[in-house]
Structure 1
Amino acid sequence: MKKPCVNFELNKIKGDVVKKTPLYDEHIKLGAKMVEFAGFNMPVQYKGVIEEHMTVRTKVGMFDVSHMGEFRVKGNQAFDFVQYLTTNDVAKLSIKQVQYSAFPTEKGTVVDDLLVYKVNDNEYLLVVNAANIEKDFAHLSKFVDKFDVSLTNESDDTAQMAIQGPKAEDTMFKIFGDVVREMKYYWFDYVEFEGETCLLSRTGYTGEDGFEIYCKPELASKIWNKILDAGEEFGIEPCGLGARDTLRLEARMNLYGNDMDETTTVLEAGLGWICKLDKGDFLGRDVLLKQKEEGLKRKLYGFEMIDKGIPRHGYPVFHNGEEVGVVTSGSYAPYLKKNIGLAYLPIELAKAGNEIEIGIRKKRAKAITVKTPFYKRPKK
Structure 2
Amino acid sequence: MTEPIDGAAPLRVTALHDRHAALGASFTDFGGWSMPVRYTSDLAEHHAVRTAAGLFDISHMAQFVVTGEEREAFLAYALAFDPTKLALSKAKYTMILAPTGGIIDDLIVTRNADDQFLIVANAGNRDAVRTALADRIEGFNAQVTETDAALIAVQGPRAQEILEATTSLVHDDALAMGHTLDSLPYYTAMGMRFGGGAVLVSRTGYTGEDGFELSVDAADACALWDAVRAAGEPFGLVPAGLAARDTLRLEAGMPLYGHELSLDIVPAQAGLGRVVPLKTKEADFVGRSALASVVASDAPVLVALVADGRRAGRAGYAVLSVDGEQVGEITSGALSPTLGHPVAMAFVAPSASEPGTELFIDVRGNRIPATVTTLPFYKRNAK
Q: Assess same fold via TM > 0.5.
A: yes
User: Aligned partners of 1:106 and 1:283: how far apart in 2?
Assistant: 6
2:327 corresponds to:
324
Residue 268 of structure 1: SS of its match in structure 2?
Answer: helix
Instruction: Compute the displacement of 1:321 (Å).
Output: 1.4
- Cα contact 1:351–1:371 (8 A) shared by 2: no
1:55 corresponds to:
48
Q: Compared with structure 1, are the counterparts of its residues 37 and 261 closer, same or farther at alpha carbon in structure 2 (3 Å cutoff)?
A: same
1:122-133 correspondence runs (5 A): 122-133=115-126
User: Aligned partners of 2:62 and 2:69: how far apart in 1?
Assistant: 23
1:284-323 correspondence runs (5 A): 284-291=287-294, 297-306=299-308, 308-319=310-321, 320-323=323-326
Unaligned runs of 5+ in 2: 172-179
- Cα contact 1:161–1:213 (8 A) shared by 2: yes
- Cα contact 2:310–2:341 (8 A) shared by 1: no
1:175-186 correspondence runs (5 A): 175=166, 176=169, 179-186=180-187
Identity fraction in percent: 36
Please tell me the residue identity of whatever aligns with 1:302. Answer: A
- Cα contact 1:302–1:343 (8 A) shared by 2: yes
Please tell me the residue identity of whatever aligns with 2:368. Answer: A
1:334 maps onto 2:337 in alignment: yes
Q: Compared with structure 1, are the counterparts of its residues 12 and 257 closer, same or farther at alpha carbon in structure 2 (3 Å cutoff)?
A: farther
Please tell me the residue identity of whatever aligns with 2:103. Answer: V
1:344 maps onto 2:335 in alignment: no
Unaligned runs of 5+ in 1: 1-10
Please tell me the residue identity of whatever aligns with 2:367. Answer: R
1:134 maps onto 2:127 in alignment: yes
Q: Compared with structure 1, are the counterparts of its residues 14 and 266 closer, same or farther at alpha carbon in structure 2 (3 Å cutoff)?
A: farther
- Cα contact 2:185–2:203 (8 A) shared by 1: yes
User: Aligned partners of 1:299 and 1:91: how far apart in 2?
Assistant: 31
- What count of residue pairs does the alignment treat as equivalent? 367
Instruction: Compute the displacement of 1:168 (Å).
Output: 0.1
Deviations 1:157-202 (A, max 9, x none): 2111000000000001123456211211111111111111111111
Instruction: Compute the displacement of 1:13 (Å).
Output: 7.5
1:170 maps onto 2:158 in alignment: no
- Cα contact 2:269–2:301 (8 A) shared by 1: yes
1:203-222 correspondence runs (5 A): 203-222=204-223
Instruction: Compute the displacement of 1:121 (Å).
Output: 4.9
TM-score by length of 2: 0.92
Please tell me the residue identity of whatever aligns with 2:46. Answer: H
1:1-380 correspondence runs (5 A): 14-154=7-147, 157-175=148-166, 176=169, 179-278=180-279, 279-280=281-282, 281-291=284-294, 297-306=299-308, 308-319=310-321, 320-380=323-383
TM-score by length of 1: 0.93
User: Aligned partners of 1:313 and 1:271: how far apart in 2?
Assistant: 20
Deviations 1:343-365 (A, max 9, x none): 11111222210011111112221
User: Aligned partners of 1:318 and 1:88: how far apart in 2?
Assistant: 37
Please tell me the residue identity of whatever aligns with 2:122. Answer: N
Runs of 4+ off more than 6 Å: none
User: Aligned partners of 2:57 and 2:293: how far apart in 1?
Assistant: 41
User: Aligned partners of 1:12 and 1:139: how far apart in 2?
Assistant: 29
Residue 19 of structure 1: SS of its match in structure 2?
Answer: coil
Residue 182 of structure 2: SS of its match in structure 1?
Answer: helix
Please tell me the residue identity of whatever aligns with 2:206. Answer: Y
Instruction: Compute the displacement of 1:290 (Å).
Output: 2.6
Instruction: Compute the displacement of 1:306 (Å).
Output: 3.2
